[in-house]
Copies of this chain bind each other. A is one copy, B any other.
Amino acid sequence: MSTSPAKSSMRDALVAAAFQLFLERGYEQTTVDDIVKTAGVGRRSFFRYFPSKEDVVFPDHEQALAEMTAFLAASADTDDPLVRVCDATRLVMRMYAENPTFSVQRYRLTREVTGLRTYELSVVWRYEKTLGDYLRTRFADRRDGTLRANVVAAAVVAAHNHVLRAWLRSGGEGDPLAEVDRALAFVRDTWNPDGPGAEPPADREDEDVVVVITRRNTPMWRVVREVESSLGNG
């Protein structure tokens, strides 16, 4: 009998072999047989870890989805639901940020292979659904609670993906966790402007007084634009 590698190391070896081959000869030109031969394991070992060749490209999403689901299930009624879904979304970014080289390689692969792009869309949809399920429960007693839950979940996912795509396109430069905090704060403040994420006041210059004079029929968006430009953050 040969020695059997530990479960996780065999899984890692399969992922490493798959990516080596995908980069060398292309995704379409690589078969599962090629992958198991390179990894030095049997064909059945591959399918024990991955239902299909596509799944080996995204080996961590199932775990991230499970973590997100558990994190949301552990939420207390006193938790701000917006804060909770933003924190849950950070778990996904952390997964990408833990291994920038792998994340960027996969991103480039996904750009080239249509089947992987659609697979990725289905993963994104599962994250959005997980966040939406949680928010629907939390907003159950609100008028338009379901609509609000679906819209907020989509907005959170869009903010996350906005940062993720920019980071992957840049080749993994910078700190995507800091960036995603900023982007998620934009979403949180949209619906919950005075929540725990609101900016604390900073320095003496902040004490300046701004006066806005407006006619009563001025649309609010015009007032906001005027105030923003006076405050220098328009």
Contact = CB atoms under 8 A, between A and B. Distances in A.
Interface of A: 117-119, 121-122, 125, 142-144, 146-148, 150-151, 153-155, 157-159, 161-162, 183, 186-187, 189-196, 198-199, 201-202, 205-217, 219-224, 227-228, 231, 233-234
The 9 closest A-B pairs by CB, nearest first: A194-B220, A193-B221, A206-B217, A154-B158, A208-B216, A201-B217, A154-B154, A121-B121, A194-B219
A144 to B, nearest CB: 6
A220 B186 CA distance: 12
Contacts of A157: 154
Number of copies: 2
A28 B219 CA distance: 53
Given A216-B205, A221-B189, A221-B195, A159 B147 contact: yes
Contacts of A187: 151
Contact of A231 (B194, B199, B216): B216
A150 B121 contact: no
Contact of A155 (B117, B151, B211, B219): B151
B212 A211 contact: yes
A227 B221 CA distance: 11
A186 B186 CA distance: 18
A176 B221 CA distance: 27
A151 B213 contact: no
Nearest to A122: B118
A144 B3 CA distance: 55
